[in-house]
Structure 1
Amino acid sequence: MKLSARNNLAGTIKSIDEGLITSKVVIDLGNGNEIVSIISKDAINDLQLKVGEPAFAIVKSTEVIIGVPD
């Protein structure tokens, strides 16, 4: 897989919560870190995503917002 995005995070699919049109996919990145993505049900089927399988979270963005606790 070759991509122009430089921010790719390897992990394992922890859960897939399917809705009517979209699904929430949680990827376990290890060390207690997770990332969540909302994608279409069609994408779930096209990529044949399954819990326990390896996957990449690929972040393509022009900005990152930083927050701090109050």
Structure 2
Amino acid sequence: MEISARNALKGTVQKVEAGAVNTEVTLEIAPGVSITAIITKASADKLGLIEGKEAYAVIKASDVMVAID
């Protein structure tokens, strides 16, 4: 796979929640660390996303915010 985005986090699909139009996909990228994405249902179906399957969270953003509590 070749991609221009600099941040690709490999993980395992933890949860797939399909809706009528979009699907929420949660990947575990490290023990106890997960990231969630909302993608189209058609894309999730095309990728065959199921729990336990390896996948990548690809992040391409022009802005990253930093906050403190």
Classify the TM-score, shorter chain: over 0.9
Counterpart of 2:59, as a letter, is V
The answer for unaligned runs of 5 or more in structure 1 is: none
Two-structure CA RMSD over aligned residues (Å): 0.7
Would you say 1:4 and 2:7 are equivalent positions?
A: no
Would you say 1:67 and 2:57 are equivalent positions?
A: no
Which runs of 4 or more aligned residues in structure 1 lie more than 6 Å from their structure 2 counterparts after TM superposition?
A: none
Q: Aligned pair count? A: 69
In the alignment, what sits opposite 1:20? 20
The answer for unaligned runs of 5 or more in structure 2 is: none
CA drift at 1:21: 0.7
| 1:1-59 C-alpha deviation (Å, 9 max, x unpaired) | 01011100000000001111101000001131100000111001111111100000000
Percent identical pairs in the alignment equals 32
* TM-score normalised by the chain length of structure 1: 0.93
